[in-house]
Amino acid sequence: MKKIVTVLLLTIAILTFAFSRPALAGDAIIGSKIFSANCAACHLGGNNVIIANKNLKKEALEKYGMNSLEAIINQVKKGKNAMPAFSGRLSDNQIEDVATYVLQQAEKGW
């Protein structure tokens, strides 16, 4: 009986971790407000008014290797090409919130 309970609990634990999505680190609700105030001028609706094909849609994020929290955080902090760096303007927590929001919106299709 003890062996059956152990196997059952182990199976539940494995299935729980194997099929659950990892939680995003930031707060997407706060991130949406920060995005509206700092990013929407160029990225409204997940678009990009400067370089149209480098938008924030899921396909483009995947194509350009920007489909992880770490990659987006790095891009927002350091900037690149026409995108300015926000490390001096936004705190690390705010940048993490924006990155979380961007990934969440990309998953939803903006």
Judge whether 24 is annotated as a binding position. no
Judge whether 1 is annotated as a binding position. no
Confidence (pTM)? 0.78
Residues of the chain with pLDDT > 90, as a percent, come to: 77
Neighbour tally for 74: CB within 10 Å: 16
Judge whether 80 is annotated as a binding position. no
What domains can be seen in the chain, in order of their start residue? 23-108 (1.10.760.10)
Neighbour tally for 16: CB within 10 Å: 9
- Give the model confidence (pLDDT) of 11-39 as tens digits: 676 766 555 445 567 999 999 999 999 99
| 48 closest CA partner among 24, 75, 70 | 75
Tokens of 14: 């494995």
Judge whether 83 is annotated as a binding position. yes
Pick 2 or 52 by higher pLDDT: 52
